[in-house]
Structure 1
């Protein structure tokens, strides 16, 4: 599968819709320990925040969005890959692109989301703090990569 990664400056309504679908499904699948309703309630806030974020997408050779990352300054607010495209290098391509364009990246990952923790650790992120997410009551780690 050929994957191209680039930043989008002006999201179209159809791109925003696709990102919202990937975000919702990704959260529900990766965070089974948090009720689905939590993510459904917060989807509108995500859609409102995305146009103000630095949005980087991974697309296939037909231009279909396979995954995306949202950055706010040097904080990775989220990285999501469509379920059918996972384990095909899409997430790695997104992280490598971000690492080429940022000197430091900080993120939060739930302790119970071990696949995501392992992924970020493989991408040279290290844990710098542990806290509880106020919104969900779940333990999370702050991880950071410095180039």
Structure 2
């Protein structure tokens, strides 16, 4: 079931974000992600429009939007590969006619995921926080 997040979901959302970030971004030190935990909980997530996918009473993943921008799409590592990311992304597509995001170039799995779901690369930039190259991607509904 996909639903709007509740404040009581924040701790679990941060856990999912952290574990999935460390798993997907081996090219960024885990210590970087650990230093971001409180900002995620106290600043970033509360400022976005969040939707969670709950399965059997447990959060499996979430997507965070600001306008037409996907700021986060994270699935608990133990729940990946089961269509949860696709379900959350499709939910976002029903809410918006256009979507954009940034994905690290070295995160080939995520880049392929977004391409498979109709996103196209529109440019690149260096992330000021990690120094890693990010690919800018966009999707437009038809």
TM range (shorter): over 0.9
Q: Which runs of 5+ in 2 are unaligned?
A: none
Say yes or no: does 1:53 pair with 2:48. Answer: yes
Task: Report the Cα distance in structure 2 between the residues aligned to 1:7 and 1:127, rounded to whole angstroms.
Answer: 29
Q: Which residue number in structure 2 is paired with residue 7 of structure 1?
A: 4
Task: Report the Cα distance in structure 2 between the residues aligned to 1:51 and 1:128, rounded to whole angstroms.
Answer: 28
1:102 CA drift (Å): 0.7
Q: Which residue number in structure 2 is paired with residue 128 of structure 1?
A: 122
1:134 CA drift (Å): 1.0
What is the DSSP-based 3-state SS (H/G/I as helix, E as strand, rest coil) of the residue aligned with 2:81?
coil
- Count how many residue pairs are aligned between Structure 1 and Structure 2: 140
Task: Report the Cα distance in structure 2 between the residues aligned to 1:45 and 1:69, rounded to whole angstroms.
Answer: 17
Q: Which residue number in structure 2 is paired with residue 71 of structure 1?
A: 65
Q: Which residue number in structure 1 is paired with residue 85 of structure 2?
A: 91
Say yes or no: does 1:138 pair with 2:138. Answer: no
Q: Which runs of 5+ in 1 are unaligned?
A: none
TM-score, normalising length: structure 1: 0.92
Q: Which residue number in structure 2 is paired with residue 28 of structure 1?
A: 22
Of 77, 80, 95, the residue aligned with 2:74 is 80
Moved more, 129-138 or 87-96: 129-138
1:74 CA drift (Å): 1.1
Say yes or no: does 1:101 pair with 2:103. Answer: no
1:135 CA drift (Å): 0.8
Off by >2 Å, runs of 4+ in structure 1 = none
What is the DSSP-based 3-state SS (H/G/I as helix, E as strand, rest coil) of the residue aligned with 1:17?
helix
